[in-house]
Amino acid sequence: MTNVEKVCRVKPAHNPAFFFILVVVAFLLNGQAKGNGVTDSTANLPEVRVGSEIEFFPYAFVDKNGQPAGFSIELIYAVSNAMGLKITISTGTWDKVWNGLAEGQLDVLPIVAKIPERTKFVDFSLPHTETFDAFFVRQGTPPIKNIMEAKGKEIVVMRSDAAHHELIGRNFQGHIVLVNTIPEGLLLISSGKHDAFLCSKLIGIMTVNKHKIKGLAAGPPIQDYKRVFSFAVKKGNTDLLEKLNQGLLIVKTNGEYNRIYEKWLSAEEPWKKFEKYIRPIGGAIIAIIFISGLWIVLLQLQIRKRKESEEQLMTLYSSMAEGLANHEIVYKNGNAIDYIITDVNPAFERITSITRSSALGKKATDLYQIQTPPYLEIYARVASGGGPEHFETFYPPMEKHFSISVFSPGKGKFATVFTDITERKLAEEKAQSLGDAIAREKDRLSALLDSIADEIWFADTAGKFTLVNPSGAQEFKIDTAESTDVRELAVSLEVLRPDKSPRPVEEAPPLRALRGEVVRNLEEIIRTPVSGELRYRQVSSSPVRDATRNIIGSISVVRDITSLKKAESALQESEEKYRTLVQYAPAGIYEVDFPSGRFTQVNDAMCRILGYTSDELLAMNAFDVLDDDGKARFSERIGKTQTGEKPEEDVEYRVRKKDGHLIWGLLNTTLRRKDGKIVGATVVAHDITARKRAEELFHLSELKYRRLFEAAKDGILILDFETGLIVDANPFLLDLLGFSSADLLTKHLWDLGIFKDIAASKEAYTELQNKEIIRYENLPLETKDGKKRSVEFVSNVYLVDDKKVIQCNIRDITERKMAEEDRERLLTELKQHAEQMALANQELEAFSYSVSHDLRNPLNAIITNTEVLAEEVGAKPGTDMHTAMTHITQSAKRMAHVITDLLTLSGISRRKIELQKVDLSEMAQEFFSELKASNPQREVQIKIQPELTLNADPGLLKILVENLLRNAWKFTSQRKVASIELGSLEKDGNQYYFIRDNGVGFDMKESDKLFKPYKRLHSTQEYKGTGIGLAIAKRVVEKHGGAIWAESEKEKGATFYFRFA
């Protein structure tokens, strides 16, 4: 062996007889390992799945034929042959085979470094080799002697390898680079990448040699840790672990282990170093010396190996956990009748509680105090030349279960290797009992699942549904879920999130649970095959874990909540309608809590009644808005509710609004209860302030009526509707007629001669009852003393306290009739005068038009002749003649303008209006263009609102627009930058138009003069004009049935507004 790789060995025992037995045992076991086979007792064992790495030379790799090879491969084959196990080997990267074992896809890995982190997932056998790791660096680079010296460097390791776990477990302060194989890591270092590769020194050296990797140097074995290699099985597989331990002991005992070790792990034999120097020409003497020396070396090697074997066997014999016993068969007449115990190991004594001294040389019948030796038939068959056998049994005298392997070291002899499996058997029995209980619970669970209306789904780690209850199977038309793929089922369905967006397949709750998530009450919308309609479902999914917390599947519970969703939607719609009804109800509605009286809900009408916002009221209580009397009564009502009394439902309070005004409220109250206790009230509030005022006014009206009745200057009679009896008469009537109260009261109306023309008979009164009103104009009435009076008689039926009464009003119109006759005479005279005035106005307008028209020609002649005369005379500017001529011309032109405006003003009154749709914006734009052309040097900002149209007479509208725009143009002439705007606005359903400027403006105190002819607010020296333009504008607007006015402030411009009917 080298200092890189070694097998644990112990010192030999010095017992020649026992050594001889073990040699025989080893010899026979070696024969067994070479293919003696197993008995029928192992023929039914299940196949053991072995995983091997592809690049872990020399322990495990794939040879040039693609077959697994290496030390661990031959060792697992030898152990399986010794124990009669059937194995199949698959290969892969270390990461793949390790995960395969952890997940149960493999049964055993033949070479695994035993480290604490891995004991959570697997169980380890007895160790079979040890090795130390080393850092491989590029040649010329200082060696790395331990992990501390690697601090801060880039260290390459194989993924999930022992070196990987060691660096992580030691909180390595550097950068770890992961690779899948050892050659890959060594090649990275050789190519100049990273600092070092950490792995087994022996494996690294052999890999370098095998792949001829250049430029690498191995550092010394690091002492931080060592690799102890063992077989590894899945956690809890104790049966397979026991067989592997027994088989490992057997191959170590029979020498097969040494053979495999020497083949793969031993260093080159010393004498072979000199073999290349041996030459046939060395002569007989050299050959003899060499052969003698070679014989001596070989002899020494054999002695050393024999000693090592003895040491191994004695150590194994003494320290092995399994019991070992050697026996000889006792024959009689050729038949086996008993057997004698010839040797036992310490474990035999510990397991059986039988001492070595009491067992040696004894027959089984004597030792165990029974008539028939235990298992004699099996032992005799093996001792007579049969192959090794293995069986398990319960031995009643010891009340223990045993696993026994038996083989024969020679004719008539057999040896047993056994272990106490009582605990395992008890566990198996308990497991069987538990299995039966599980089966019963499974049946009960199955019955429960069948009866559950919710869908129950189970999925395995492969993403397949393995179980679904009838509810789910029926909904999705599934007979069995064993072949149903979760993803395929999800893809085939229309699945939506609650917001109606498509749900990705990977968001399916069963798949999320398989990733470790716990999904609770997730809502989904899905179109199921059975219903064909979108259904609302609520899904809860959880991962299912084994005892080691590994996920082995998922369970999902699905509930159809479509009906609930529809009910919630209907309830929400109903609540929304209720909230809308409450919120927009004309009456105030609110809720209060008892006993605090705090507002918890108020509608818009309540806010309008009190003048508060909703937030303000919700921060208050009812006491805050009541007057002192209301607070006391409200507190009393709350007290009644707390003692169980039921207060009246309708109450009236005086309530204080936010602005301080008190109003009357009628409150209709419905109490709210919780757990039988009154906790508040819902109140409908009506503002009855108007009604209260009406009642007050009614009472006041009654008082006023009585006063009016007594003081009225008209006669009033009150009659009973049914009988026609006079029940009251006011003083004025008594004075008018000259009767006393006693003369009239308790008599019928038709009994009085003074009313003979009104109610000459009962039939006439009946007509009054039916019509409920009779009116007589200019009725002649005779007083008691025979005087004639003209009266107006009106009789009406009224309700007084739900009883009909007839009130007769009698007004003395004698003087009024006389006045009416005078008025009619005056109206006739006035009408005649108006007709005369109209005729005069027509003549005046005609005269005005004629005068204005006839004055034009003389004025034009004056203007033309004056200009000609000025040219002929040759009056120079500045001379009196030129000044006089200019004054005459300007005065004549001004007079012409005045005449033109007068003609226009006169023509508007006579003009017949013809309405049509006119583009005001276009009309204003055209006139602005003319104004700008007349004075291009002015800087004027003009803003016209587009598409302003109105129904008007186009000619009159043009006169209006030109006068208003010319006015704005004139009064902005002194502005450096003038601004004139035409626009419109809507107010109170009417369309208004405006022209705004930034001119000199005017004082609003003088606005009454604005639209009167010749009333100027500025002198002609400042602004020229006739003083008639705005009067013309007003006449145009009034002709259209509209109105015009102006708003201004001195030096801040003016705005003229107008509208048409």
Q: What share of the chain is helix, strand, coil (3-state, %, to 5)?
A: 45, 30, 25
pLDDT at residue 5 greater than cutoff 80: no
In this prediction, residue 1042 carries a pLDDT of 92
The larger pLDDT score, comparing residue 327 to residue 225, is at: 327
Given a cut of 60, whether residue 480 has pLDDT beyond it is: no
> Average pLDDT of 360-388?
90
Task: Give every strand in the sheet of 599-602, ordered side by side.
Answer: 599-602, 588-593, 677-687, 662-674, 650-656
Angle at 1050 between CA 1049 and CA 1053, to 5 degrees: 65
Cβ neighbourhood burial of 324 (10 Å; 0-12, 13-18, 19+): buried
CB 38 within 8 A of CB 388: yes
> Measuring CA to CA, which residue among 78, 58, 392 is closest to residue 253?
78
> Residue 55: in which H helix or E strand, if any?
strand 55-56
Average pLDDT over every residue of 47-71 = 90
Which residue(s) pair with 113 in the sheet? 229
For 911-1059, CATH number? 3.30.565.10
Q: Taking Cα atoms as reference points, which of 128, 111, 119, 106 lies closest to residue 73?
A: 111
pLDDT band at 1043 (very low <50, low <70, confident <90, very high): very high
- Residues 631-668 have pLDDT tens digits of 888 888 888 877 777 777 788 889 999 898 889 988 88
Percent of the chain predicted with pLDDT > 70:
83
CATH topology match: 1-132+226-269 vs 137-222: yes
Higher pLDDT, 9 or 206: 206
Arithmetic mean of pLDDT, 90-100: 90
Show the CA angle centred on residue 527, arms to residues 524 and 529, nearest 5°.
Answer: 135
Q: Write down the CATH number for the domain with range 813-909.
A: 1.10.287.130
Place 3 in a pLDDT band, splitting at 50, 70 and 90.
very low
Q: Any residues with CB less than 8 A from the CB of 170 and at least 6 apart, and which?
A: 147, 224
Q: What is the pLDDT of residue 945?
A: 94
Which residues lie closer than 8 Å to 345 by C-beta, 6 or more apart? 317, 318, 320, 323, 324, 325
**Closest C-alpha among 398, 434, 432 to residue 418:** 398
pLDDT at 36: 36
Q: Calculate the dihedral angle through the C-alpha atoms of 270, 275, 277, 281, rounding to the nearest 10 degrees.
A: 140
Secondary structure class of 305 (helix, strand, coil): helix
| Chain Cα centroid distance, residue 439 | 43
**Confidence (pLDDT) at 474:** 80
- Alpha-carbon distance of 570 to 235, in angstroms, equals 57
**Measured distance CA(130)–CA(275) in Å, rounded:** 31
Q: What is the pLDDT of residues 806-825, one digit of tens each?
A: 888 888 888 788 888 788 88
840: pLDDT confidence band, cut at 50, 70 and 90?
low
Which tens digits make up the pLDDT trace of 702-756? 777 777 787 777 888 888 888 878 888 889 888 887 888 887 787 776 666 556 5
Q: Hey, what are 230's tokens?
A: 């063992």
Crossing angle (nearest 10°) for helices 880-910 and 1029-1039: 10
pLDDT at 957 over 60: yes
Domain ranges (residues) in the chain? 1-132+226-269, 137-222, 321-420, 452-567, 585-692, 712-812, 813-909, 911-1059
* Residue 12 main-chain phi, psi, to 5 deg: -75, 155
Tokens linked to 297: 């070396």
- Confidence band for 381, pLDDT divided at 50, 70 and 90: very high
CATH 3.40.190.10 at 137-222, yes or no: yes
The mean of the pLDDT values for the chain is: 81
The encoded tokens of residue 210 equal 């095998």
**pLDDT at residue 779 greater than cutoff 80:** no
Residue 585: the pLDDT is 78
Distance, CA of 367 to CA of 358 (rounded, Å): 8
- Helices 238-253, 283-319: axis angle to 10 degrees equals 140
Which H helix or E strand runs over 351? helix 346-352
- Is 967 exposed, middle or buried, given 0-12, 13-18 or 19+ CB atoms closer than 10 A? buried
Collect contacts of 619-627 with beta carbons under 8 A, ≥24 apart. Answer: 621/592, 621/596, 621/597, 622/592, 622/597, 622/598, 623/597, 625/655, 625/656, 625/657, 626/653, 626/654, 626/655, 626/656, 627/653, 627/654, 627/655, 627/656, 627/662
CATH superfamily of 1-132+226-269: Periplasmic binding protein-like II (3.40.190.10)
757 vs 820, residue with greater confidence: 820
The architecture of the domain spanning 321-420 is 2-Layer Sandwich (3.30)
Alpha-carbon gap, residue 157 to 185, rounded angstroms: 7
Q: Centre a 10 Å sphere on the Cβ of residue 323 and count the other Cβ atoms it contains.
A: 21
**CA dihedral sign, ordered 907, 909, 914, 916:** positive
Sign of CA dihedral 850, 851, 857, 860: negative
Query: According to CATH, what is the number of the domain 452-567?
Result: 3.30.450.20
Statement: residue 417 has pLDDT above 80: yes
Q: What is the pLDDT of residues 491-523, one digit of tens each?
A: 888 889 988 899 998 989 999 999 999 999 999
**What residues pair up with 176 in beta bridges, in sequence order?**
155
Phi, psi dihedrals of residue 386, rounded to the nearest 5°: -75, 165
Task: Give the pLDDT band of residue 844 (cuts 50, 70, 90).
Answer: low
**Residue corresponding to tokens 């009643």:** 396
Among 203-212, 552-561, 813-822, 980-989, where is mean pLDDT lowest? 813-822
User: Which contacts of 796-801 are long-range, i.e. CB under 8 A and separated by 24 or more positions?
Assistant: 796/772, 797/721, 797/769, 797/772, 797/773
Give 88-128 as a DSSP string.
Answer: EEEEE-HHHHHHHHHTTS-SEEEEEE--GGGGGTEEEEEEE
Averaged pLDDT, 686-707: 77
* Local confidence band at 1020 (pLDDT 50, 70, 90 cut-offs): low
Lowest mean pLDDT among 27-31, 191-195, 352-356, 701-705: 27-31
Residue 658, helix vs strand vs coil:
coil
For 196-205, 286-295, 388-397, 401-410, which range has the lowest pLDDT when averaged over its residues? 286-295
CA 86 to chain centre: 57
What is the pLDDT, as a whole number, of residue 903?
A: 66
Task: Round to whole Å and give the CA distance between 17 and 1013.
Answer: 158
pLDDT on residue 722: 81
Q: Which residues on adjacent β-strands are paired with residue 341? A: 327
What tens digit of pLDDT does each residue of 558-603 get? 998 888 888 888 877 877 777 777 777 788 888 888 888 899 889 9
What would the DSSP string read from start to end of 782-816?
Answer: E-TTS-EEEEEEEEEEEEETTEEEEEEEEEE-HHH
Backbone Cα Rg of the chain: 64
- State the Cα–Cα distance between residues 201 and 6, nearest whole angstrom: 12
Cβ atoms of 910 and 845 within 8 Å: the answer is: yes
pLDDT band at 301 (very low <50, low <70, confident <90, very high): low
Q: 585-692 is classed in which CATH architecture?
A: 2-Layer Sandwich (3.30)
Closest C-alpha to 345, from 445, 253, 266, 442: 253
Q: What's the length of the chain?
A: 1061
pLDDT average, residue stretch 1033-1050: 90
252 token code pair: 């170590």
Q: Look at residue 268 and tell me whether its pLDDT is greater than 60.
A: no
pLDDT at 279 over 50: no
pLDDT band per the 50, 70, 90 thresholds, residue 306: low
Cα separations in angstroms, 274 against 267, 268, 270, 626, 903: 15, 12, 8, 123, 149
What pLDDT sits at residue 338?
A: 95
Report CA dihedral (307, 311, 312, 314) to the nearest 10 degrees: 130
Q: Would you state the pLDDT for residue 55?
A: 82
Question: What's the rounded Cα separation, in Å, for the pair 411 and 382?
Answer: 9
In our burial notation (b when 16+ CB lie closer than 10 A, e otherwise), range 814-849 reads: eeeeeeeeeeeeeeeeeeeeeeeeeeeeeeeeeeee
Instruction: Please name the CATH architecture into which domain 712-812 falls.
Output: 2-Layer Sandwich (3.30)
Please give the Cα distance from 92 to 76 (Å, whole number). Answer: 17
Sheet with 55-56: strands ordered across: 55-56, 60-62, 68-69
CA distance 1054 to 967: 10
Q: Who contacts 47 (Cβ-Cβ below 8 Å, separation ≥6)?
A: 86, 87, 88
d(CA 327, CA 363): 9
pLDDT confidence of residue 550: 87
Cis check: omega of the bond before 731, within 30 degrees of 0? no
Between the alpha carbon of residue 44 and those of residues 47, 89, 367, 567, 888, the distances in Å are 9, 19, 34, 63, 147
**pLDDT (average), residues 365-392:** 90
Provide mean pLDDT across the span 28-57.
60
What is the reported pTM? 0.32
Query: pLDDT tier at 305 (50, 70, 90 boundaries)?
Result: low
Average pLDDT over residues 181-193: 93
pLDDT of residue 231: 95
Report which secondary-structure segment, H or E, holds 526: strand 519-527
pLDDT of residue 708: 76
Q: What is the pLDDT of residues 316-364, one digit of tens each?
A: 667 778 899 999 999 999 899 999 999 999 989 999 999 999 999 999 9
pLDDT of residue 233 exceeding 50, the answer is: yes
Query: From CA 932, how far away is CA 928, in angstroms rounded?
Result: 6
pLDDT (0 to 100) of residue 285? 52
> Do residues 810 and 716 lie in contact, with contact meaning Cβ atoms separated by under 8 Å?
yes
**Section 58-67 average pLDDT:** 90
State both tokens at 335: 């038949």
Name which residue leads in pLDDT, 1016 or 795: 795
CA pair distance 526, 830, nearest whole angstrom: 93
